[in-house]
Structure 1
Amino acid sequence: MPTHEREITAPVDLCLPDGRLNPGAVGWSRRPLHRANLRGWGRAKRWEYWGVVTPDHIVGVVASSLDYAGVHGVYVLDRATGEEIVKDVVVPLARGAVFPDRCGEGRVSARGPGLRIDIDQRAGGTSLQAAAPGVRLDVEVPLPEGHESLGVVVPWSPRRFQYTVKDLGRPVRGTLTVGGARHVLDEATSFAVLDHGRGRWPYSITWNWAAGCAPGRAIQLGGRWTDGTGSTENALFTGGRMHKIGDELTWVYDRRDWTRPWRMTGPGVEVVFHPFHERVSRTELGVVGSETHQCFGRFSGSVRTDEGDRVDLDGLVGWAEEARQRW
């Protein structure tokens, strides 16, 4: 069903000159239109997360600045064996990290002991390179003509807000080298997902995120962190077109057994996620810390389009997660 939220159709600054949220920036867009002109230091968060799914592997690459620290990482899952390679680094004050203020434009760079991430964003697509012990990723992520993404501003208050872009089902080509074995990524069987984030966050927050893709279809769902704000990050994608879902959804899953099916439901939304692998990530830095349970798996169920047509989600592959942050 059509959303009640306001669609942004022209470029806009995220912040007013004094650093507070620009009321005119609140809404959603079909392509990146916001300039994240964050000012000052203390609660600002910036990150780029790319997830890459192939028939054999799932890869996660994150470069982030939390102001007081840069938290960067590379993750690789062998889908056949369940073997994981994890390289995470924490860089004080996010020294050397580079983040542009617009999604899809400019260079992202992060460095840490044994880790290198370089992301070059251009009008026609993105180059993504990451290297860690035993892993090297070197791929191109083209931007198809007419491809739509979901951009959303979530307003907690004039001084606490987040701009996110979720870009799903992007084709990806290139190579992934794991332990000396070189794997060629084929656009027909591999895809990439972007989570671009810029904002000023509360100290403590919990979120849910689910993303799944298959040729010509993708589903993006979020929860908890947007509750009560009037904004959601829920959308269905068919043939590159986005159908915005404006309702907050109900998430049901078992925190005692994360690999049991997850259910996300709401008006026109009946989604079941079936995990085949759980990744657990914990970081403790004194008064700050995080715990994330990210499950990889397959989707079933269906979602209705703006026109009321039901789209089957069987065959979509991706993840669902719960993240708890003190930052």
Structure 2
Amino acid sequence: MTRPAAVVVDAHEISRPVELQHPDGTLDAAAVGWTRTPLHRTDRVGQVARRWGRAKRWEYWALITPTHVVGLTVSSLDYAGLTQVWVLDRASGEQADEVVVVPLARGTRLPGTYGAGPASARTARAAVRFTETPAGTRLRAATARVRLDVLVPLPAGHERLGVVVPWDDRTFQYTLKDVGRRVAGQLRVDGVTHELESGWATLDHGRGYWPRELAWNWGFGAGVVDGRTIGLQLGGRWTDGTGSTENALVVDGRLHKIREDLAWSWTPGRWTDPWHVRGDGADLTFTPFFDRVSLTDLRLVRSSTHQCFGTWTGWVLDENGGRQRVDGIEGSAEDVEQRW
């Protein structure tokens, strides 16, 4: 695969609260940029009548522990809501997966702006709720096979990457990516309780209006390297040519922006072979231990997802030009093709 053409990226760091869009639903140019903490107000996404059917809103949490991997989704596409609770037993390879699609996103509640209230979905087969508390984020989920109740503490001063990706003034996305946070609590699968005490949690929060068809890569990871807490956030393809990227390194809670498009390479069809992500400021290899496959065809919505979980090695330059090793941190790398 070829490396994206060089463009000026991530030129604008935003330090004050800003509206994502104008009252007519178009992008506010002042919102284009990136932040170290949530500052974008996104209440208008999904509230502009003439844009109905195009708004995309979601919260996705990934939990990686020594024994299990968990994926939790609460989302609305206006015309449908998708809720998912997925659990992988790392020892046995067994999966517990409940996916529910509800017309018009009935039973789904998402805050207009991050942190303004809980995100939840309640259906006949799955219930999920994410709540911000003084101690951090509480994640709860229930299906016929799974019960989950965990806390993701938010350390004082912990920085989170917010980015607006502008395709044009009518199609744009605000994404908040939060990596390198611990998780602890209980997971029960088929009546067996597991204490989760040494895992990591990653958040993908999104609000915006996407092109009808798009493909992307997303990668993340977290762990401790040489006594330092490391979080890794990477993206590719969907941001190419926009002047924005979602690439960052977090070291002991401090965010270091990777100000370039990175080149991803992998072998389609051989998903558990090593992946590579490279640029002037990064040289990374991802070695998967599991490929989570999701293929959806609902006519209006079609998607093909290979989300691999595994281990990262390599280095990233921090904002001072020093090489930070990431060897051994666990996370994910995915290839997605979406029509929605």
Structure 1 length-normalised TM:
0.97
Q: Which residue of 2 aligns with 1:200?
A: 209
Q: Which of residues 239, 255, 258 is equivalent to 1:245?
A: 258
Q: State yes or no: 1:273 paired with 2:263.
A: no
* Distance (Å, rounded) in 1 between the aligned partners of 2:129 and 2:70: 15
Q: Which of residues 188, 191, 194 is equivalent to 2:200?
A: 191
Q: Could you say if the C-alpha distance between residues 4 and 208 of structure 1 is closer, same or farther in structure 2, counting changes exceeding 3 Å? A: closer
Q: Which residue of 2 aligns with 1:11?
A: 17
> Residues 15-64 of structure 1, C-alpha deviation per residue, up to 9 Å, x if partnerless?
11111001000000001111112223120000000001111000000000
Q: Which amino acid aligns with 2:210?
A: W
5 Å-filtered alignment, 1:219-258, equals 219-258=232-271
* Distance (Å, rounded) in 2 between the aligned partners of 1:279 and 1:219: 20
Q: Which residue of 2 aligns with 1:145?
A: 156
Q: Could you say if the C-alpha distance between residues 289 and 175 of structure 1 is closer, same or farther in structure 2, counting changes exceeding 3 Å? A: same
Q: State yes or no: 1:89 paired with 2:67.
A: no
- Large movers: runs of 4+ above 3 Å: none
- CA shift for structure 1 position 113: 2.6
* Distance (Å, rounded) in 2 between the aligned partners of 1:35 and 1:101: 8
- CA shift for structure 1 position 125: 1.6
* Distance (Å, rounded) in 1 between the aligned partners of 2:339 and 2:55: 13
> Residues 116-137 of structure 1, C-alpha deviation per residue, up to 9 Å, x if partnerless?
0011124542111001121111
Q: State yes or no: 1:326 paired with 2:339.
A: yes
- CA shift for structure 1 position 296: 0.5
Q: Which of residues 111, 118, 127 is equivalent to 2:129?
A: 118
Q: Which residue of 1 aligns with 2:4?
A: none
Q: Which of residues 27, 34, 41 is equivalent to 1:35?
A: 41
Q: Which of residues 26, 40, 49 is equivalent to 1:20?
A: 26
Q: Which residue of 1 aligns with 2:222?
A: 213
Q: Which residue of 2 aligns with 1:260?
A: 273
Q: Could you say if the C-alpha distance between residues 90 and 20 of structure 1 is closer, same or farther in structure 2, counting changes exceeding 3 Å? A: same
* Distance (Å, rounded) in 1 between the aligned partners of 2:127 and 2:214: 29
Q: Which residue of 2 aligns with 1:317?
A: 330
* Distance (Å, rounded) in 2 between the aligned partners of 1:288 and 1:177: 32
| Contact 1:104–1:123 under 8 Å retained in 2 | no
For residue 118 of structure 2, give the secondary structure of its aligned residue in structure 1.
strand
| Contact 1:164–1:195 under 8 Å retained in 2 | yes
Q: Which residue of 2 aligns with 1:172?
A: 183
* Distance (Å, rounded) in 2 between the aligned partners of 1:202 and 1:8: 25
Structure 2 length-normalised TM:
0.93
Q: Which of residues 170, 173, 180 is equivalent to 1:159?
A: 170
Using the aligned pairs only, state the percent identity: 53
For residue 30 of structure 2, give the secondary structure of its aligned residue in structure 1.
helix
* Distance (Å, rounded) in 2 between the aligned partners of 1:82 and 1:4: 40
* Distance (Å, rounded) in 1 between the aligned partners of 2:218 and 2:133: 27
> Residues 252-297 of structure 1, C-alpha deviation per residue, up to 9 Å, x if partnerless?
0000201100000001200100000001001111142111000000
Q: Which residue of 2 aligns with 1:48?
A: 59
| Contact 2:10–2:245 under 8 Å retained in 1 | no
5 Å-filtered alignment, 1:59-70, equals 59-70=70-81
Q: Which amino acid aligns with 2:336?
A: A
| Contact 1:151–1:164 under 8 Å retained in 2 | yes
Q: Which residue of 2 aligns with 1:101?
A: 112
| Contact 1:259–1:276 under 8 Å retained in 2 | yes
* Distance (Å, rounded) in 2 between the aligned partners of 1:5 and 1:323: 27
* Distance (Å, rounded) in 2 between the aligned partners of 1:106 and 1:13: 18
> Residues 123-176 of structure 1, C-alpha deviation per residue, up to 9 Å, x if partnerless?
542111001121111011111000001000000000000000000011212111
Q: Which residue of 2 aligns with 1:75?
A: 86
